[in-house]
Amino acid sequence: MVEEDPRRRIPGTDTVLAHPQVREAAHRLSRPVLQRIVHQAQSRARSGSISPEQVLPEVLAQLEGLRPSSLRPVINATGVVVHTNLGRAPLSPAARQAIVEAAGYVDVEMDLHTGRRSQRGAAAHHALLEACGPAEDALIVNNGAAALALAAAALVGAGSVIISRGELVEIGAGFRLPELIKSTGAELVEVGTTNRTHLQDYASAVEALPQGERACILKVHPSNYRIAGFTSAVPTAELAELAQRHGLPLVVDAGSGVLEPEPVLPEEPDLSGVLSDGADLAIASGDKLLGGPQAGLLLGSTETIAQLKRHPLARAMRTDKLTLAALEATLTAGPAPVTTSLHADPEDLLTRARRIAEAVGADVVAHDGRVGGGGGAEVPLPGWAVQLPESAAEPLRSHLPPVVTRTSDSWCLLDLRCVPESEDETVLEAVRSVLQDLQATPSGSTPLGEDV
């Protein structure tokens, strides 16, 4: 008697898809996704990795908790406020609600009173101008790099961008500002040296421009590094006077999006101050210290912004309705989470850290947080951290929800600066669970020590 081939018992795709639990999952997952999961289980059964009877249980196990988006909310316990790897600025509750409401049909380009087409994102535009008094007009594009590229393309074209050598920055992932500017067709005119640039350096470059050539002076705040010691840079006000005398626009890339002077970061340029000092155009990112969504903010004179709006790239770089909604809410609602984290009281952080440390028998150590995101380079934010074994870092990241910490000197440091106090209990439960698992194995036997 010939033995039956076990592969003949593998359930068909339609049979698995008709199962009640799989049909229920079809309300949140597309049919191609469901089919892929079924086919993977069937393939494992054909190869003998699982039995035919295990196909359906494996499919159901794969579907459990599977979400349409692979992005997972995490708890930022690193002490880094604007953490690029974790999506930079977390949005405020008001901004999150605004995104939900804007996800459907909204009046992004319609005047509901007249029923006619209106200016796109007028409310976000108005909110930005209200928040930055010296700005005559504003334009919102999809990120900071786009803002700078649009400025170079619209104001200079194939002309010259005059910039200090000390401001030719490179940011994350190998992104270099000089390459971005050159991609617009503009020519870079470098002045000064890496550590010292004087007003006369700019003046000489301006005077050497061919007659009638389009050009601008660009000042970039090197927000992700510091040059200390024997240094010299030209203030915005002095550059503005030079630019005005020669009829050139002055563009200042302020970077982090601080609207007004920030006492915690005295060296961080604010947009209001930059414009008051005479810049024709100030550029910043929306998802850094402003605490909003990813966006490129351009604020300046009516004439300059009008020139940018007329350029064809302005359409290619425009923001979507979700960004406009979140930006408006960020500007009009209460303090954003970034602001709250930046100004966290060290004594409050110590009290919260001690509560978690005492519950699990760990130490509390002094720990300086950081601004992150290319802002406030090397500025310490005094605080505290719960000191855990380094081996706790990976399982904390694998926990649900994931808790992302910082490792230093063979320790896992859990800093609550960016953790809402309402999530302290969730963090404590995660730490307790992870430490119990570690202590149940020989590799997790590291002593925790005493509280300070």
**pLDDT tens across 227-251, in order?**
778 889 999 999 999 999 999 999 9
What separation, in Å, do the N-terminal and C-terminal C-alpha atoms of the chain show?
77
Nearest to 134 by CA among 234, 266, 222, 237: 237
pTM score, two decimals? 0.89
Query: Across the chain, which distance is largest between two alpha carbons, in Å?
Result: 101
The pLDDT value given to residue 222: 82
- CB burial of 174-185 (b: ≥16 within 10 Å; e: otherwise) equals eeebeeebeebe
245, part of any domain: yes
Query: Phi/psi at 8 (nearest 5 deg)?
Result: -70, -15
Tell the residue number behind the tokens 């030209």, with chain if given. 234
Domain boundary among 317, 333, 349: 333
Residues 116 and 204 in one domain: yes
The pLDDT value given to residue 445: 47
Element containing residue 446 per DSSP (H, E): none
> Which is more confident, 98 or 444?
98
133, part of any domain: yes
- The Cβ-side half-sphere exposure at 244, using a 13 Å CA radius, reads 11
Residues 396 and 433 in one domain: yes
The pLDDT value given to residue 40: 95
Nearest to 373 by CA among 30, 49, 82, 69: 82
Residues 107 and 17 in one domain: no
452, part of any domain: no
- 288-314 pLDDT tens trace: 999 999 999 999 999 999 999 999 999
Residues 265 and 134 in one domain: yes
Residues 346 and 291 in one domain: no
Domain boundary among 281, 306, 333: 333
DSSP 83: B
CB neighbour list of residue 318: distance below 8 Å, 6 or more residues apart: 120, 140, 141, 142
Distance CA 166, CA 185 (A): 22
Distance CA 38, CA 13 (A): 7
Other CB atoms closer than 10 Å to residue 135's CB: what's the count? Answer: 25
87, part of any domain: no
3-state secondary structure of 108: coil
Residues 34 and 111 in one domain: no
Domain coverage including residue 405: 75-82+340-444
Distance CA 152, CA 218 (A): 9
The pLDDT value given to residue 449: 45
DSSP string, 412-440: EEEE-TTS-GGGHHHHHHHHHHHHHHHHT
123, part of any domain: yes
311, part of any domain: yes
Residues 328 and 224 in one domain: yes
Tell me how many domains the chain contains: 3
> Which is more confident, 452 or 128?
128
Residues 359 and 314 in one domain: no
Residues 393 and 421 in one domain: yes
Mean pLDDT across 104-132: 95
Residues 310 and 239 in one domain: yes
> Strand 363-372 vs strand 80-82: parallel, antiparallel, or unpaired?
parallel
1, part of any domain: no
Residues 325 and 359 in one domain: no
The pLDDT value given to residue 2: 56
276, part of any domain: yes
- 306-356 pLDDT tens trace: 999 999 999 999 999 999 999 999 999 999 999 999 999 999 999 999 999
- The Cβ-side half-sphere exposure at 318, using a 13 Å CA radius, reads 16
Element containing residue 279 per DSSP (H, E): none
Residues 193 and 298 in one domain: yes
Length of the chain: 452
The pLDDT value given to residue 155: 97
Three-state SS string across 154-190, please?
Answer: HHCCCCEEEEEHHHCCECHHHCEHHHHHHHCCCEEEE
The pLDDT value given to residue 450: 40
Distance CA 73, CA 79 (A): 17
3-state secondary structure of 2: coil
Domain boundary among 312, 333, 354: 333
pLDDT band for 442, please (50, 70, 90 cuts).
low
